[in-house]
């Protein structure tokens, strides 16, 4: 009996996770842009016939940038909920969160250059 509820709860968790991913991709402008870039990079990967290792690196990079952006969005939404009007500390927290996305975005561009420059030039 207990195992049955465990499985049902896990299925509910997966449903909530899909809902969250769908909401992020369909409502957040930065996620839409990153999703679009991910699609373009996936098409480029097929065109330039990436090796299995390059595919793994590219998929992980795309997934990580989108996941970090999702966390950034969650932090911003929570901060806005806790303190709707401007507050210096909340602004600092949001800046830190956005900075984390920016740092990984730079790394993602570098990874893309390492993978694609030898294929293009």
Establish whether 54 is a catalytic residue.
Answer: no
pTM over cut 0.85: yes
102-121 per-position pLDDT tens digit: 999 999 999 999 999 999 99
For 14-42, the DSSP string reads: HHHHHHHHHHHHHH-HHHHHHHHHHHHHH
Q: Assess contact for 91 and 65: CB atoms under 8 A.
A: no
Residue 60 lies inside a defined structural domain of this protein: yes
Q: How many Cβ atoms sit within 10 Å of the Cβ of residue 22?
A: 10
Domain of 64 in residue numbering reads as 29-120
> How far apart, in whole angstroms, are the C-alpha atoms of residue 89 and residue 94?
9
Q: Is 50 left (phi over 0), alpha (psi -120 to 50) or beta?
A: beta
Indicate the number of domains in the chain.
1
CATH number at 65 reads 1.10.287.3610
Q: Please state which of the ranges 8-12, 18-22, 35-39 shows the lowest mean pLDDT.
A: 8-12
CB-count exposure of residue 34 (10 Å: 0-12, 13-18, 19+):
buried
If 0-12 CB within 10 Å is exposed, 13-18 middle and 19+ buried, where does residue 12 land? Answer: exposed
For 109, other C-beta atoms within 10 Å of its C-beta total 12
pLDDT digits (tens, 9 = 90+) for 72-84: 999 999 999 999 9
**Residue 61 falls within a domain, yes or no?**
yes
Please give the Cα distance from 42 to 39 (Å, whole number). 5
Q: Which of 54, 69, 76, 85 is catalytic?
A: 69
Does residue 104 lie within any of the structural domains?
A: yes
With respect to residue 20, please indicate whether it lies within any of the assigned structural domains.
no
């Amino acid at each position: 009996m207990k195992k049955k509820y465990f499985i049902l709860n896990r299925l509910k968790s997966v449903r909530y996770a899909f809902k969250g991913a769908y909401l992020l991709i369909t409502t957040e402008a930065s996620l839409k842009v990153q999703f679009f870039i991910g699609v373009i990079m996936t098409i480029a990967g097929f065109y330039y016939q990436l090796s299995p290792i390059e595919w793994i690196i590219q998929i992980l990079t795309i997934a990580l940038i989108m996941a970090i952006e999702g966390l950034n969005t969650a932090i911003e939404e929570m901060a806005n909920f806790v303190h709707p009007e401007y507050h210096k500390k909340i602004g600092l927290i949001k800046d830190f969160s956005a900075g984390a996305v920016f740092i990984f975005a730079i790394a993602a561009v570098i990874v893309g250059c390492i993978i694609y420059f030898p294929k293009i030039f």
